[in-house]
Each structure stands twice: as C-alpha cells, then as structure tokens.
Amino acid sequence: MAEAKVDVDPRLLEILVCPLTKGPLRYDREAQELISLDAGLAYPIRDGIPIMLVDEARPLAESEKAALARP
C-alpha cells in the first residue's frame, strides 16, 4: 500500500535550516524530503515530521544536485 503524502506545516518550513551547514532547505513534497544543496543531503520526512539528523539523511547524487541547482 502506498504511503500517503503528508504536508509539512509551512511555518515549520520557514524556520528549519540544515543542521550541518545552517543553510536553507528546499521542500520536495513528492519525495517527502527536505533538500540541502549546500550539504548535498536530503533529510526524510516521516508522517509529516522532518527528521533533521545528518545520520538519517540521504546523500544527493551529482545528477540530482545539478538538476536542483537550475532555477
């Protein structure tokens, strides 16, 4: 059974930063991840809760970084 996409509170998204770089994050609703281009990491969102632990983050592939860097 497919996991339902749960939106993260927009107010929370405004204040969250990457715990490694303290830089901005991008919300990927489809993948349920918060992306840090500076760190090259994607932090998972589980049941609407961002998991802001570097150990839980997924490294971004070079192709993902390039695609996300485009405006």
Q: Average pLDDT, stretch 21-30?
A: 95
Whole-angstrom distance, CA of residue 39 vs CA of residue 55: 13
Cα dihedral 48/22/25/6 (nearest 10) = 0
pLDDT of residue 71: 67
Band (1; pLDDT cuts 50, 70, 90):
very low
pLDDT at 2: 52
For 32-55, write each residue's pLDDT tens digit. Answer: 999 999 999 999 999 989 999 999
36, exposed or middle or buried, with CB in 10 Å at 0-12, 13-18, 19+? buried
Rounded to an integer, the average pLDDT of 6-29 is 93
Domains and CATH numbers, the chain: 10-69 (2.20.25.10)
